[in-house]
Every structure is written in structure tokens, then in C-alpha cells.
Amino acid sequence: MTYAIETKNLNFSFGGNRKVVNDLSLQVPEGSIYGFLGPNGAGKTTTIRLLTGMLLSDKDNIYIHGQSLQRGMPGIFQSLGALIETPSIYGHLTGKENLKVITTLRGLSSNHIDTYIDIVGLKHAAHRKAKEYSLGMKQRLGIAMALLPDPSLLILDEPANGLDPNGIIEIRELLIRLNREMGKTVFVSSHLLAEIEKTCTHIGIINHGVLRYQGTLEDMKRSAYETGEVVFRVPTATDWMPQVSGLFAEARQQSADEILFPFADAGHVTRINQQLVQHGVPVSGIQVRGGLEEWFMHIIDKDRKAIA
């Protein structure tokens, strides 16, 4: 497999013994949307600063499209666009003028500015002063700035942070479009599990600088749901258990009115419910326990206890 980003035992500290990034080995497949997930203070922004050369690793262990970052600077940045934290925008200039400033500073062609303004959904506001932009519009303008060199790899640090629900949806749809329609590999950090789940194809979970999980979204869901269960509330469950066991060998009684099943996915729950209802079992309620959110919190909590 070819990786757009690969790090090998990456370490970094700002002084003292505590590592902000600790033996981090990332593998970001080309063509993926890779969600770099972790709570605030986990080491996400420091990692991104290392990937973009804003902080320097003392070893040659960061590779962009297979090329050493350390030995490939500054030319390697022609294939990389980045938005770290909030974009640097001149409020007294229009959105389009802000992009022209970037092309001038970086020696880039300004021929495609209108195309990128359209891609990020700011065509209607291209000639408005940037100080009049909402936070979501400013984030999209920042992404347009990162796109100006037409990079194959886009690195974004919490682009949905602080946005309202509508702004979050707009950023999500933009990232998916950049990946599917334009073929960009997108590396996006976030502390929002639900948003990463809706956007990304691959996941890396970091906490206290340590990579706690790395894999595809589907593998992560599979790991999470292996420990999940679904509770069907059935009045006088004891009376119904022989019939339920005949339908589902994995069913087990939890209490006088609860029957448990291993949780596979939402479709599995629906099929169980249909079968029970068709056979006259009086289901009065359904509750899923475990699942992705609890699995994620377990990983974070386990990491916290190990360090404490």
C-alpha cells in the first residue's frame, strides 16, 4: 500500500521528560480521508505541526508520498496544503483578494482562484470583505487557500471546531467532495467522534501522544460492536425465553423483563425485532448498550488510567 503520510516512531517534547508525541507511527493511505481523533490536548496539533515542518523532528522519520520530509523541504510542500487552527485572513480584503495575496506570496498561478472559490462554496461572497464572513465561511476560505497549489494531500486541523451544526455539515460535505471528486487525500484532526464517523474512511486515535488505534472505519466499528449488546424489554421474559431461544440461540435472559442479544449493527436489531414481533413476543422497548462511543471512551479512559 502507498501512503500519503507515514511516520516511524515519531517523538517530540517541548522540554522536560513528558513527550507530547510518543513513538507515533502513522500510516495514511493515499486516496483516504483519515480522521486523526483524540481529546483536546492529546497531541493532534503538535503532530500536524511536525507533518508540515512547523516543528522539526530530530530524526528523519516523516514521509510524504514516500519522500522524506526532512530531506525534501521546501519542494515537498508543493504536494501538500494545510490549514492549522484558524486561517490567517485579512479582514479588510475580499475573499478573492485574500486568495490573490497567497498566490503572490507563494509564486502560484492565480488562474484557478475562481474555481477554488466555487469549490468551497464562496462564489456568492467572493467580493465581500472577509471581516463580514461567518466563522464557517472563514474556514472554507482557509481551505481554499490550502488548495491553491493544487496539492494531492490536504492536512486540516479541526476545521469544524466552533462551527454551528450547519457549518459542520458544510465542512463535512466539502471534505467528502474534495476526496471523491478531486482525488485529494485528506488528513483531518478532530475531537468529535460523530463527525469523524460520518466523514472518514480511516481512523487514528491519539491520547497523551500515544496512538491508541489505527485502521479503517469499518474495522473500528467492528471492534466496537463486538463488545456491544442490545436489550429487548419483554414483559414476563421468563415465559417467552423458550420461544425466543428457539429463534435466536445467542439470546440470554438478563432480568424478569429483559432479553440480551449481541449487537452487530442497526440492521441486525431491526431483523431481531421483526422476528420477535412476528412470533407474538411482546417487545415493549429496545436499548443498545456499548457501541462506538463507549468503545472510544473506554480506549481513552484505559489510556488515562495507564498513565496515572
Give exposure, 175-189, as e/b (b: 16+ Cβ within 10 Å): bbebbeeeebbbbbb
pLDDT tens, 228-274?
Answer: 788 999 999 999 999 999 999 999 998 999 999 987 666 888 999 99
Classify residue 308: in a domain, yes or no.
Answer: no
Whole-prediction pTM: 0.81
In a domain, residue 178? The reply is yes
Q: If you count them, how many residues does the chain have?
A: 308
Domain final position from 171, 192, 215: 215
* Helix locations, 228-291, DSSP H: 237-247, 266-278
Domain shared by 166 and 234, yes or no: no
Same domain membership, residue 261 and residue 165 = no
Domain check: are 104 and 235 in the same one? no
Q: Is residue 42 part of a domain?
A: yes
> Do residues 203 and 251 both lie within one domain?
no
Q: Are residues 47 and 161 in the same domain?
A: yes
Closest CA to 21 of 47, 41, 40, 45: 47
Higher pLDDT, 235 or 296: 235
One domain, residues 104 and 27: yes
The answer to whether residues 210 and 246 belong to one domain is no
If pLDDT is split at 50, 70 and 90, which confidence band does 307 have? very low
Q: Which domain holds residue 262?
A: 229-289
Query: pLDDT-derived band of residue 148, with 50, 70 and 90 as boundaries?
Result: very high
Inside any domain, residue 307: no
3-class secondary structure, 71:
helix
Peptide bond into 39 cis (omega under 30): no
Residue 235 lies in a domain: yes
- Whether residue 120 lies inside any domain: the answer is yes
**Which domain CATH number covers 248?**
3.30.70
How many CA atoms within 13 Å lie on the side-chain side of 240?
Answer: 26
Q: What are phi and psi of 86, to 5 degrees?
A: -95, 145
CATH number of the domain to which 122 belongs: 3.40.50.300
Specify whether 211 is located in the same domain as 238.
Answer: no
Torsion sign over Cα 207, 210, 215, 216:
positive
Q: Which residue has the cell 421483526?
A: 274
Residue 238 neighbours by CB under 8 Å, 6+ apart: 253, 256
6 three-state secondary structure: strand
Arithmetic mean of pLDDT, 214-238:
86
- Higher per-residue confidence, 308 vs 52: 52
Number of domains making up the chain: 2
Residue 206 and residue 147 in one domain: yes
pLDDT grade, residue 296 (50/70/90)? confident
How confident is residue 306, by pLDDT bands cut at 50, 70 and 90? very low
Task: Measure CA 60 to chain center.
Answer: 26
Residues 263 and 290 sit within 8 Å (Cβ to Cβ): yes
Grid coordinates representing 190 are 478532530
Q: Are residues 253 and 285 in the same domain?
A: yes
Domain end point (choices 215, 239, 255): 215
- Distance CA(187)–CA(157), nearest Å, equals 8
9, 66, 164 from 181: Cα distances, Å? 33, 24, 25
The residues, any chain, with a CB within 8 Å of residue 39's CB and separated by 6 or more, are 191, 207, 300
Please provide residue 95's backbone torsions phi and psi, each rounded to the nearest 5 degrees.
Answer: -60, -45
Average pLDDT of 292-308? 66
| Residue of 191, 297, 206 lying closest to 22 (CA atoms) | 206
Same domain as 243, residue 125? no
Within-domain flag for 97: yes
Q: Of 215, 247, 271, which residue constitutes the final position of a domain?
A: 215
Closest CA to 292 of 209, 192, 176: 192
Whether residue 103 lies inside any domain: the answer is yes
Position 227 pLDDT exceeds 80: no
Tens of pLDDT, residue by residue over 186-202, are 999 999 888 899 999 99
Q: Does one domain contain both 251 and 141?
A: no
